Amino acid sequence: MRSFTVDELTNHPFDFLGAPDLDLSVDGLGPRRLPAWTRPQIPNQIMDAMVSMGSGVRLRFRTDTDVIELDAMVTCVRSLDEPTPDQIVQLIVDDDSAGAANAFATTPSVFELDPENPADIGFTLGSTDTFRFVGLGTESRIVELWLPHGATIRIKELRVADGAAVGSAGPTGKRRWIHYGSSISHCIEAAVPTGVWPAVAADLAGVELRSLGMGGQCMLDQFVARTIRDETADVISLKLGINIVNGDTMRERTFGPAVNGFLDTIRDGHPDTPILIVSPIWCPSAETVPGPTLKVGPVFVTVPGHEVIRNGCLTLSRIREILATIVETRRALGDTNLYSLDGLQLFGEADKADLPDDLHPNAAGYRRMGERFAELAFGPGGALAR
């Protein structure tokens, strides 16, 4: 078979959509969802891991090969009270998501978390897996290899059939959508890479996704705002609030100015681009009680505090009000391409059967969120409609 090394994969004709930074080391090639200049500003290893996870990242090229093999080491996280989640590479041919083929990791490396002892982290070293797709035919077509959305990956080698042509797929020709959010946009609980709700919405709307959904890390960091500012975008959405409550990281005094500053930075590069602010989905423990939140057994709950010092603490209900006011105020001042969407329209109390841990939707819930977002945001009359 014809082989491509990691050095060759970093260059034309291969495109890693959704990954502006490719970390090349002795362990292989690791796509990253933030640009290289942000690395010194990333605050901790948890965020660094989220940046390295492949939610929305795909390797795109044109070929007529009948077989594709991708050698890679996958590293994921599991709770000791749960099975190791499937780690999947999906093959999409000519944008046909309905005909996606799946290849599974059999020996991933696994970080093991003990829910009763959060500081106790185990590790099981895996080995390189070969993700293999066969019987593809020999006509020329565009292929996309969607990488595992809830794991980091180190690519070792790509192979195609001897004599097969490999060339650039060229631009997608689609409008480019940048989406920023939390774990509920990262969607580690989705069943497959194309099952994360932003990918579902992008497929239905016919747009090119650039996902900045990062579990636990939607903290309005300025280096993320500058990343969005500097990238090409036809439409932008920001799903804000839940991580602020999860970590109890801001009060009313700081949250509103932080949102405005984040928007100001983006507007420096996108003065007229439609921006949609999406408020949090339903989370029963934090609707009217301030965070922080903590997982106790199978569900997330809020941690009681001393009410006398909790003045200005944020709940999800209050965050929705603040975000709506910010959008209303900025529109009145002339930013008429700024819009808001109540997250309860994407996932509300009526959907609670698909919220097993009281914080994160399951695979079915994420798919429904994607379908609803496609209709509400990209459908007729939607803020991001053409």
What is the Cα–Cα distance from 361 to 367, expressed in whole angstroms?
9
Quickly tell me which residue has 């090119």 as its tokens: 208
pLDDT number for residue 306: 57
pLDDT(116) > 90: no
pLDDT number for residue 80: 81
Question: What fold does the segment set 2-167 form as a domain?
Answer: Jelly Rolls (2.60.120)
End-to-end CA distance of the chain: 44
- DSSP strand pairing (68-79 vs 129-133): antiparallel
pTM: 0.95
What is the Cα–Cα distance from 237 to 43, expressed in whole angstroms?
23
Tell me the average pLDDT of the chain.
95
pLDDT(291) > 90: no
pLDDT classification of 192: cutoffs 50, 70, 90:
very high
- The secondary structure of 102-139 as a DSSP string is EEE-SS-EEEEEETTEEEEEEEE----EEEEE----SS
Domain 2-167 matches domain 176-378 at the CATH topology level: no
DSSP bridge partners of 241: none
Q: Give the pLDDT mean for 262-274.
A: 98
Domain boundaries, the chain: 2-167, 176-378
pLDDT number for residue 54: 96
pLDDT (tens digit per residue) in 138-164: 999 999 999 999 999 999 999 999 999
Q: Are 133 and 103 in contact (CB under 8 A)?
A: yes
Q: Superfamily assignment of 176-378 in CATH? A: SGNH hydrolase (3.40.50.1110)
CA torsion, ordered 279, 281, 287, 290, to nearest 10 deg:
-60
pLDDT (tens digit per residue) in 13-68: 999 999 999 999 999 999 999 999 999 999 999 999 999 999 999 999 999 999 99
pLDDT classification of 296: cutoffs 50, 70, 90:
confident
Lowest mean pLDDT among 102-116, 172-186, 229-243: 102-116
- The set of residues, in sequence order, having a beta carbon less than 8 Å from that of 246 and lying 6+ positions away, is 182, 216, 286, 291, 292, 293, 359
